[in-house]
Amino acid sequence: MQLNGMAHVQLTVSDFERAVPFYERLLNFVDMKTVMKGDGFLYCVGSRTAIAISPADPEYRGERFVQRRVGLHHLCLRARSREQVDELHEFLKELGATIVHPPEQQDGFAPGYYSLLFEDPDGIRIEVNYVPGRGLLEEGAKAPAG
């Protein structure tokens, strides 16, 4: 069986009312359309995938994301150019996002790997990268050791 990409990812947030404006502005900026909003659910679709957010159960609403806890480590979205990564960086500064690292090239992951890493209001890490060509899918390309 061969998969056809990733259909969607759903993130649970501690403060839904705070997260909705952040995610809706971010996802609309990257050309994802809001198709469902309300009743504790935001669902945006575009670029052959979807991202949803929903509120945490009441007993977990005071918590923040812990990257090394079991579960999600980070979410990575792929841009179509380095310029898009740079453009998103400028938008994220306006949005007030926490920037973990600004756009930078990291050839250790794949030749030409260029990425930006930031956090949502709960500290969930989101990366946006650009890899020229087919990246590790190119014939002869090797994944980094480790």
Assign 3-class secondary structure to 49-78. Answer: EEEEEEECCHHHCCCCCCCCCCCCCCEEEE
Q: What is the mean pLDDT of residues 35-63?
A: 95
Q: Are 111 and 76 in contact (CB under 8 A)?
A: no
Tokens (6 digits) for 35: 């198709």
CA dihedral 137, 138, 140, 145 (to 10 degrees): -40
Q: What is the mean pLDDT of residues 31-57?
A: 96
List, for residues 53-112, the tens digit of each pLDDT value: 999 999 998 898 888 888 899 999 999 999 999 999 999 999 999 999 999 999 888 889
Q: 144 pLDDT exceeds 60?
A: no
**pTM for the predicted model, two decimal places:** 0.88
Walk me through the domains of the chain, giving residue ranges and CATH numbers. 1-57 (3.10.180.10), 67-136 (3.10.180.10)
Q: How deeply is 34 buried, as exposed, middle or buried, from its count of CB atoms within 10 A (0-12, 13-18, 19+)?
A: middle
Q: What is the mean pLDDT of residues 107-121?
A: 92
| 22 against 48, higher pLDDT | 22
pLDDT of residue 56: 95
pLDDT of residue 115: 97
What does the mean pLDDT of the chain come to? 90
What percent of the chain lies above the pLDDT cut of 90? 74
Q: Are 110 and 141 in contact (CB under 8 A)?
A: yes
